[in-house]
Amino acid sequence: MGVTTVVLAGVGGQGTILAGDVLAKVAVAEGHEVKLSEVHGMAQRGGSVDTVVRFGEEVFSPVVDRGMADHLIAFEIIEGARTLPYLRPGGRLVVNRRMVAPLPVLIGDLPAPEDLEQALVAGGAVLLDAEALACEAGSPRSANVVLLGAASYGLPFAEATWTSVIEERVPPKTVEANLRAFALGRHACAEGVCEL
Amino acid sequence: MSRTLLSGNEAVARGAWEAGVAVGVGYPGTPSTEVLESLVRFDGVRCEWAPNEKVAAEVAGGVSLGGRRTLVTMKHVGLNVAADALYTQAYTGVTGGLVYLVADDPGMHSSQNEQDTRNHAAAAHVPLLEPSDSQEALEYVISAFRISEAYDVPVIVRMTTRISHAKTLVEVGERSEAVGGSYASQPPKFVMMPGNARLRRIDLESRMTALEAYAETASENRVEMRDASLGIVTSGVAYQYVREALPDASVLKIGLVNPLSDRLLFDFRSRVERIAVVEELDPYLTLRLKALGVDLVDTGLPTMGELSPMAIAVAFGGKIPETREPIPDLPPRPPLLCPGCPHRGIFRGLAKMRAIVIGDIGCYTLAALPPLKAMDSCVCMGASIGMARGMELAGSADRPVVAVIGDSTFAHSGITGLLHMAYTGSSATVVVLDNRTTAMTGHQGNPVSGVSLGGAPAQAVDLEALCSALGAASVRVVDPHDLDATLAVLKHEVAEDHLSVIIAKAPCALIVKEHKDPYAVDEESCTKCGACVRLGCPAISYDVNGRAVIDTTLCVGCAQCVQVCRFDAIVQVGPSCDIGGV
Ligand code: SF4
Ligand code: SF4
């Protein structure tokens, strides 16, 4: 089996690091060689952050170039659009509809990009509203786990492995909300309700 | 044996613990910070943040002198500060093993430059090991302690961002018996006055010569013979990229980067038809091979920034695969000050005064970006104060000059600058941003906040008394969230003809446990003037009608925006689950 590459793209503070960690641990639990790469420091102050998880029999590079990712999970729509060239043609694309306006847009220096949803759907995206599902799950902060649930539908791991790693990895008080968030994300994709 | 997923930094900590390290000491700096934060969680190791890397290196030198193993950690630029200690520790050598963990940041993800630590090792005449994943990070740290004691020399383990912050599977071991030497007085070895130093200089040379012989067969250097038509000499993360990009190439993987063994290089040369070097940053291995007269394939790879598997594949004739078209016209997303960041209050005042702001290293460097655009320079830790004095001497400024420095940076290298100002009769204005933490590297304690590395309370310096004692004529404390009061104090102190320090004291928004209720904009009262938006708080933006709108999930209730709104349009509301914004 070759190497599978998943890129998680988002904005500093959105929980991509925890999500990447869960995914990497799931891959380890299922017997894969795994490498995960993330960026700390200044970029985390609201900048673009990408986490890369690669798994398979033998993994060398912890990072990838454009056109090399098999899955792209975007926690935010502009970051999904920005990272799209990393996804290989035919790769799987899951995008959170939420837009977090970057500073130049907030202060009115640049317009908010339009028609991103269409462009991403044309690129094969499955869109969902992770924040709404997270609120439904009982914790607005579990949007990252909703997205993991959505991503999990296309990844070759057992649902039980996911739930046991999530139980281990999230704060004890939030386990139930996070498991509900995961299930909502996964089923949203399974039932195709998150298409445009 | 079970394998665990560890970051390179966690693996370094594990390796140090397994090697029986007694003390870990350092100064936080991305990408090195998590080493001590993980080491402190092990039993039997004392870990401390020092105010700067030089102090850390000296503490480590003392632990070594006392016969115990010690790890000292820093980022690449920190080694410039610690270099004074290192270069002479190379002469004295060690008693207990002394290992420097230095993390470089190619591509400058979180740094002001991308200097290559391998040059420091060569210049200081100390060995340098460079791992290419977490497993090697663990193993090389153990080797480093062994080499340090066997060859009587401090050893650098060099990491880069992609090794420090990549998690890979590691087989962990157990802690060896703590190697506990005892202290024996040896002045000729440890008192570096010229007569002794000259002898130790000669001794250092013979220690490095012995290490060069070791390098020839060292297990850290590895030849992987595959197709002999192309041989690649490489090290660190570049090794992983080479394996990804050129799976058939033969490889000489250098783990012990300094000293290099000429024999090893010649031997590999003789076994392959063509030879090339693939390395990140400076042409360190390249120049060595060229100096030996080896004819290298010219790869054309850059000597700055990060490499990647694709760049290497292309350099060796590979084709760029078909990729998707980028979506055009996406707005960039620079990092920014958090909602409710206290720094915003100070920089808003400085911008209003049109001050020339001589800045420093920390989250507050982000105030240089729009909309605040309130910083004119940022060079190195502590530079704000010395440079502001220099601007005063240059005498060319037609606007007020203000030095701005964070609490941790002030403790690191600002105190001596302020002492210089007082000593030389400066009448400058220095702002110390005291947000009770070292925020940018992930909220470490420091001597100003009075929090120790493990999180326990520690002695906190009295900043006001310290600045007065150094000779500041006026020391004022302001709450930067109180915009009018802050601006008034800034204006007053800048106008005074004496040395003033303004301490802007308010905790970093990310360490405040209980936030106040968020604010919202009353649509009817908002006149679309944009005053609040120009603060640059990420919770505030324009709605489709051009009115201000606050994302109540992001707002932490600092009330700065309330003070800039002249129409009382910003009002406090309860917490909620809806998302505002565009
Ligand atoms: S982490 Fe703290 S100091 Fe840094 S930008 Fe955020 S609030 Fe400001
Ligand atoms: S009160 Fe205003 S400035 Fe402070 S965090 Fe909320 S929106 Fe931002």
Residue B249 lies in a domain: yes
Neighbours of A157 (CB within 10 A): 16
| Residue burial B15-49, b: 16+ Cβ < 10 Å; e: rest | bbbbbbbbbbbbbbbbbbbbbbbbbbebeebbbbb
Looking at the fold, whether B53 and B154 belong to one and the same domain comes out as yes
Determine the Cα–Cα distance for residues B61 and B64; give it in Å rounded to an integer.
Answer: 5
Ligand 2 centroid, distance to B506 Cα (angstroms): 15
Domain that holds residue B533: 519-572
Looking at the fold, whether B26 and B60 belong to one and the same domain comes out as yes
Residue B85 lies in a domain: yes
Closest B-chain CA to A76: B333
C-beta of B508 in contact with ligand 1 (< 6 A) = yes
Residue B321 lies in a domain: no
Model pLDDT, residue B579: 42
Q: 386-425 in B: which are within 8 Å (CB) of A? A: none
Q: Quick one: which ligand is closest to B509's CA?
A: 1
Nearest to A98 by CA among B237, B554, B388, B82: B554
Q: Tokens standing for B582?
A: 């565009």
**Mean pLDDT to the nearest integer, A125-134:** 94
Instruction: List the CATH number of the domain containing B542.
Output: 3.30.70.20
Determine the Cα–Cα distance for residues A122 and B325; give it in Å rounded to an integer.
Answer: 12
Q: For chain A, how big is the Rg over CA atoms in Å? A: 16
Q: Do A116 and B162 touch (CB under 8 A)?
A: no
Q: How many helices and strands, by DSSP H and E, does chain A display?
A: 8, 6
Residues of chain A found within 8 Å of residue B442, distances taken between Cβ atoms: 40
Ligand 2 centroid, distance to B351 Cα (angstroms): 19
Looking at the fold, whether B311 and B382 belong to one and the same domain comes out as no
A152-190: per-residue pLDDT in tens? Answer: 989 999 999 999 999 999 999 999 999 999 999 999 887
Bridge partner residues of B474 (DSSP): B500
Residues of chain B found within 8 Å of residue A35, distances taken between Cβ atoms: 133, 166-168
Closest A-chain CA to B371: A107
Residue A54 is inside which H or E element, if any?
A: strand A48-56
Query: Count of domains in chain B?
Result: 4
Pick the CATH number of A4-191 from 1.20.1560.10, 3.40.920.10, 1.20.58.220, 2.40.110.20: 3.40.920.10
In this structure, are residues A38 and A53 in contact, taking their beta carbons and an 8 Å threshold?
no
Nearest to A104 by CA among A117, A116, A91, A113: A113
End-to-end C-alpha distance for chain B, whole angstroms: 52
Q: If chain B, 582 residues long, is cut into consecutive pieces of 10 residues, what is the mean pLDDT of each piece?
A: 91 97 97 98 97 98 97 98 98 97 96 97 98 98 97 98 98 82 92 98 98 97 98 98 98 98 98 98 98 97 97 95 92 93 97 98 95 96 98 97 98 98 98 96 94 95 98 98 98 98 97 93 95 94 92 93 97 64 32
Determine the Cα–Cα distance for residues B280 and B348; give it in Å rounded to an integer.
Answer: 40
Determine the Cα–Cα distance for residues B216 and A27; give it in Å rounded to an integer.
Answer: 38
Q: 320-359 in B: which are within 8 Å (CB) of A? A: 320-327, 329-338
C-beta of B509 in contact with ligand 1 (< 6 A) = yes
- Domain boundaries of chain A, sorted by first residue: 4-191
Q: Do A45 and B335 touch (CB under 8 A)?
A: yes
Q: Do A103 and B536 touch (CB under 8 A)?
A: yes
* DSSP 8-state secondary structure symbol assigned to residue A146: H
pLDDT level of residue A43 (50, 70, 90 thresholds) = low
> In the block, which residue shows the tokens 């912890």?
A62
Ligand 2 centroid, distance to B582 Cα (angstroms): 17
Looking at the fold, whether B359 and B454 belong to one and the same domain comes out as yes
Q: Do A41 and B110 touch (CB under 8 A)?
A: yes
Determine the Cα–Cα distance for residues B279 and B237; give it in Å rounded to an integer.
Answer: 9
Looking at the fold, whether B299 and B380 belong to one and the same domain comes out as no
Looking at the fold, whether B375 and B489 belong to one and the same domain comes out as yes
Ligand 1 centroid, distance to B535 Cα (angstroms): 15
Ligand 2 centroid, distance to B338 Cα (angstroms): 10
- Full DSSP string of B216-237: HH-TTSEEE-SEEEEEEEE-TH
Model pLDDT, residue A41: 67
Pick the atom of ligand 1 nearest to B440's CA: 4
Q: Do A110 and B331 touch (CB under 8 A)?
A: yes
Looking at the fold, whether B111 and B69 belong to one and the same domain comes out as yes
Determine the Cα–Cα distance for residues B71 and B57; give it in Å rounded to an integer.
Answer: 9
Residue B58 lies in a domain: yes
Angle formed by the axes of helices A175-190 and A130-137, to 10°? 130
Name the pTM for this structure.
Answer: 0.96
Question: Given CB atoms, is B549 within the 8 Å cutoff of chain A?
Answer: no
Q: Mutate which of B109, B112, B324 to disrupt the A interface (most A C-beta within 10 Å)?
A: B324
Determine the Cα–Cα distance for residues B199 and B209; give it in Å rounded to an integer.
Answer: 16
Instruction: List the CATH number of the domain containing B311.
Output: 3.40.50.920
Looking at the fold, whether B430 and B447 belong to one and the same domain comes out as yes
| ipTM entry | 0.95
Residue B423 lies in a domain: yes
Looking at the fold, whether B62 and B207 belong to one and the same domain comes out as yes
**How close does chain A come to B513, measured CA to CA in Å?**
16
Instruction: List the CATH number of the domain containing B446.
Output: 3.40.50.970
C-beta of A45 in contact with ligand 1 (< 6 A) = yes
Pairing type for strands A69-74 and B128-129 reads: unpaired
**How close does chain A come to B572, measured CA to CA in Å?**
21
Residue B142 lies in a domain: yes
Backbone angles phi, psi at B569, to 5 degrees: -90, -10
Residues of chain A found within 8 Å of residue B237, distances taken between Cβ atoms: 61-62
Closest B-chain CA to A118: B327
Backbone angles phi, psi at B167, to 5 degrees: -100, 125
Ligand 1 centroid, distance to B457 Cα (angstroms): 21
Model pLDDT, residue B578: 47
Residue B329 lies in a domain: no
Residue B338 lies in a domain: no
Determine the Cα–Cα distance for residues B19 and A57; give it in Å rounded to an integer.
Answer: 30
Determine the Cα–Cα distance for residues B239 and B280; give it in Å rounded to an integer.
Answer: 10
**How close does chain B come to A137, measured CA to CA in Å?**
12
Amino acid at A84: L
